[in-house]
């Protein structure tokens, strides 16, 4: 019996080794633990004899360093996987509100509207003019100084007819509409992120299910191969199982591509500069669907009715109608002439040293009374009112449709998860066991596998539909999911 390798002291103690004693391989650089001068003794039975085995030392050295290299590569791979960002739904919603492209554009529109509101409150600036003119006095006696004419004038436009008030109201209404559009964009973006996240989770779960189905069909194909060799099934039946397994492998590749596309769509909503699909989703679709379904309030016919005017886009349309009305009032006020007040000081030396004058000027509305501007403003006002009516109708339609979709999603989820999927799993287990024992046909096995795969995918689809329906229902009411 060969025992493990033992390292023994050389004969004669720790002194100089005999010249004819074999030596081990030199120690690698930096490996102080490796024996440099002592031979290897292999103990067998009760005695031990030195053996010159440089090949053994080389093999041990290479094996040790190969193991260290493989371990470091495994640790690096694990660290690379751990360093990949994991994104939860709450984090995705927060990132979208911080850097979503559509939300940033809506914020910029609001800032522009606020700046225009500041400009609308301003009064017209006065105008100051000054001139100096030197006059030649050719008929004056010699030695008479030349005359200088110095004129300084200050003018101010005075707006009449409430023009400034109409302009301020128009700008304020535009700012209010921009604010409501920003709120509407925020609710819609939040709903889109929730739906995109659920779709990415569904695509990820679809990949897992397709892989499980492909692995199951691969095992069935191996069993079919063994049964074919045993003469229990025909070559056509064996090929059918192989074809089904190959089809599921192709479905895995399609599902993987769909998962990447879903993650890219999510990253685009989050405002990432280079969406590449390289993100891990930290939440579970089934858990999200269960929480949302459990938190859904039951319908209460006696509860307060929803007010369509409370939705942000409806309020924005109402503000646009107010702005159009203010613009119409402004166009009507433009028919009133605005006078310009003038105060002037003139000094004409040496004859007329000081002269002060006042004047008023205004346009005479003789040929044009701003009929074109008024007609245009009236058309815009009527269009804004129609847009308001359309926004209210669209809000009611979306609320009704989202409620119906929500009820249907809950009912479908309950049927698939509570009834159809458990029954399909039980049938598949029974048919697979019977097929392995030769009590079920190949067609029965393939049919059971196909039904189970379809119901698993349907269960994932119902979870995603439930989350998406909840997001649409909240967005239709002008709200966000908790």
pLDDT tens digits for range 155-200: 999 999 999 999 999 999 999 999 999 999 999 999 999 999 999 9
pLDDT for 149 equals 82
Counting residues of the chain whose pLDDT is more than 70, the rounded percentage is 77
pLDDT for 27 equals 42
pLDDT at 335 over 80: yes
| Interatomic CA distance for residues 8 and 365, integer angstroms | 121
Domain boundary among 62, 83, 104: 83
pLDDT for 200 equals 97
| Interatomic CA distance for residues 344 and 328, integer angstroms | 37
pLDDT at 201 over 70: yes
Domain boundary among 83, 99, 121: 83
Query: For residue 123, what are the domain limits?
Result: 90-130+148-296+308-362+370-476
Query: In this structure, are 384 and 448 located in the same domain?
Result: yes
pLDDT tier at 216 (50, 70, 90 boundaries)?
A: confident
Query: In this structure, are 76 and 110 located in the same domain?
Result: no
pLDDT tier at 144 (50, 70, 90 boundaries)?
A: low
| Interatomic CA distance for residues 16 and 320, integer angstroms | 102
pLDDT tier at 240 (50, 70, 90 boundaries)?
A: confident
Q: What is the mean pLDDT of residues 366-381?
A: 94
pLDDT at 266 over 70: yes
In a domain, 138, yes or no: no
Mean of the per-residue pLDDT values of the chain = 82
pLDDT at 226 over 90: no
Asked if 478 and 181 touch (Cβ cutoff 8 Å), the reply is no
* Beta strands 86-87 and 280-281, pairing class: parallel
pLDDT for 224 equals 80
pLDDT for 55 equals 52
pLDDT at 354 over 90: no
Query: In this structure, are 71 and 168 located in the same domain?
Result: no
pLDDT for 299 equals 60
Query: In this structure, are 101 and 59 located in the same domain?
Result: no
Domain boundary among 50, 83, 116: 83
Q: Quickly list DSSP for 110-126.
A: HHHHHHHHHHHTPPPPP
Query: In this structure, are 155 and 42 located in the same domain?
Result: no
The total of structural domains in the chain comes to 2
In a domain, 172, yes or no: yes
Q: What is the pTM of this model?
A: 0.74
| Interatomic CA distance for residues 361 and 342, integer angstroms | 8
pLDDT for 186 equals 97
Asked if 270 and 92 touch (Cβ cutoff 8 Å), the reply is yes
pLDDT digits (tens, 9 = 90+) for 51-102: 444 554 554 555 555 555 555 555 444 444 445 668 999 999 999 999 999 9
pLDDT digits (tens, 9 = 90+) for 440-475: 887 787 888 889 989 999 999 999 999 999 999 999
pLDDT at 110 over 50: yes
pLDDT for 482 equals 85
In a domain, 139, yes or no: no
In a domain, 446, yes or no: yes
């Amino acid at each position: 019996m060969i025992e493990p390798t033992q390292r023994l002291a050389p004969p004669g103690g720790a002194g100089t080794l005999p010249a004819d004693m074999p030596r081990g391989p030199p120690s690698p650089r930096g490996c102080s633990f490796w024996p440099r001068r002592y031979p290897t003794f292999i103990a067998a039975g009760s005695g031990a004899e030195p053996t010159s085995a440089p090949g053994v030392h080389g093999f041990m050295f290479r094996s040790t360093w190969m193991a260290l290299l493989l371990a470091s590569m495994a640790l690096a791979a694990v660290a690379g996987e751990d360093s990949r960002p994991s994104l939860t739904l709450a984090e995705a919603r927060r990132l979208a509100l911080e850097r979503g492209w559509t939300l940033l554009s809506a914020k910029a529109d609001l800032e522009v509207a606020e700046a225009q509101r500041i400009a609308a409150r301003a009064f017209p600036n006065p105008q100051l003019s000054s001139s100096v003119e030197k006059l030649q006095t050719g008929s004056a006696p010699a030695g008479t100084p030349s005359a200088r004419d110095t004129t300084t004038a200050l003018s101010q436009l005075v707006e009449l007819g409430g023009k400034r008030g109409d302009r301020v109201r128009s700008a304020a209404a535009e700012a209010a509409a921009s604010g409501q559009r920003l709120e509407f964009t925020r609710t819609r973006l939040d709903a889109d992120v929730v739906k995109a996240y659920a779709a990415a989770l569904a695509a990820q779960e679809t990949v897992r299910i397709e892989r499980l189905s492909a692995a199951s069909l691969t095992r069935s194909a191996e069993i079919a191969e063994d049964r074919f060799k045993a003469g229990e099934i025909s070559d056509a039946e064996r090929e059918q199982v192989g074809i089904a397994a190959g089809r599921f492998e192709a479905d895995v590749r399609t599902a993987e591509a769909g998962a990447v596309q879903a993650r890219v769509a999510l990253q685009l909503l989050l405002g990432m500069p280079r969406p590449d699909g390289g993100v891990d989703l930290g939440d579970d679709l089934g858990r999200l669907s269960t929480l949302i379904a459990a938190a859904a309030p039951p319908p209460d016919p006696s509860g307060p009715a929803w007010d369509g005017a409370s939705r942000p886009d409806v309020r924005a349309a109402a503000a646009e109608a107010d702005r159009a009305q203010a613009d119409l009032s402004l166009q009507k006020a433009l028919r009133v002439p605005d006078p310009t007040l003038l105060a002037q000081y003139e000094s004409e030396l040496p004859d007329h040293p000081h002269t002060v004058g006042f004047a008023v000027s205004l346009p005479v509305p003789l040929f044009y009374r701003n009929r074109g501007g008024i007609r245009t403003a009236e058309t815009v006002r009527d269009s804004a009112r129609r847009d308001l009516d359309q926004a209210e109708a669209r809000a009611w339609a979306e609320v009704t449709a989202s409620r119906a979709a929500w009820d249907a999603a809950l009912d479908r989820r309950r049927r698939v998860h509570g009834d159809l999927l458990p029954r399909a799993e039980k049938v598949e287990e029974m048919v697979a066991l019977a097929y392995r024992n030769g009590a079920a046909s190949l067609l029965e096995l393939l049919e059971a596998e196909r039904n189970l795969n379809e119901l698993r995918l349907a269960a994932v689809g119902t979870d995603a539909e439930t989350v998406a329906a909840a997001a649409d229902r909240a967005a239709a009411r002008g709200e966000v999911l908790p």
